[in-house]
Amino acid sequence: MWKKECEKLPIEYIRNEEENSKTKFISYKGDTIRFDIAIISSPSLHPNHIVVDMNSNKYTSLSLSNIDKNNYIEHALQYNEIEAEDFRHFIRSHLS
């Protein structure tokens, strides 16, 4: 009964748009671990990018303005301080 009632409810979209995006897949060896990441960029995200760590399935919205915020990378991607510094050093050139 409940399932039948739910099927009748209209869906009210807040946003439903399609947009082309660019995804860059990058693998590299840092000082301590291997990084396998995807960087997704699109006009609606600019200047931010969605960065996905494909090894841990963690992701975050990242830009040059928030990359150096205290413990942002460590918290969002669950990296220790050394891993986060490796990541910051590498990712900067890919966020422009």
pLDDT of residue 58: 98
As a whole number of angstroms, the distance between CA 76 and CA 63 comes to 13
Domain assignment of residue 31, yes or no: yes
**Is 33 inside any structural domain?**
yes
- Say how many C-beta atoms besides its own lie within 10 A of residue 60's C-beta: 16
DSSP 84: H
Task: Please report whether residue 10 resides in a domain.
Answer: no
Please give the residue range of the domain that contains residue 46. 21-94
pLDDT digits (tens, 9 = 90+) for 2-58: 566 657 778 899 999 999 999 999 999 999 999 999 999 999 999 999 999 999 999
Quote the CA–CA distance of 73 and 8 in Å, as a whole number: 43
Per the domain annotation, does 4 fall within a domain?
Answer: no
Phi/psi of residue 49, nearest 5 degrees = -135, 150
Give how many domains the chain has, as a whole number: 1
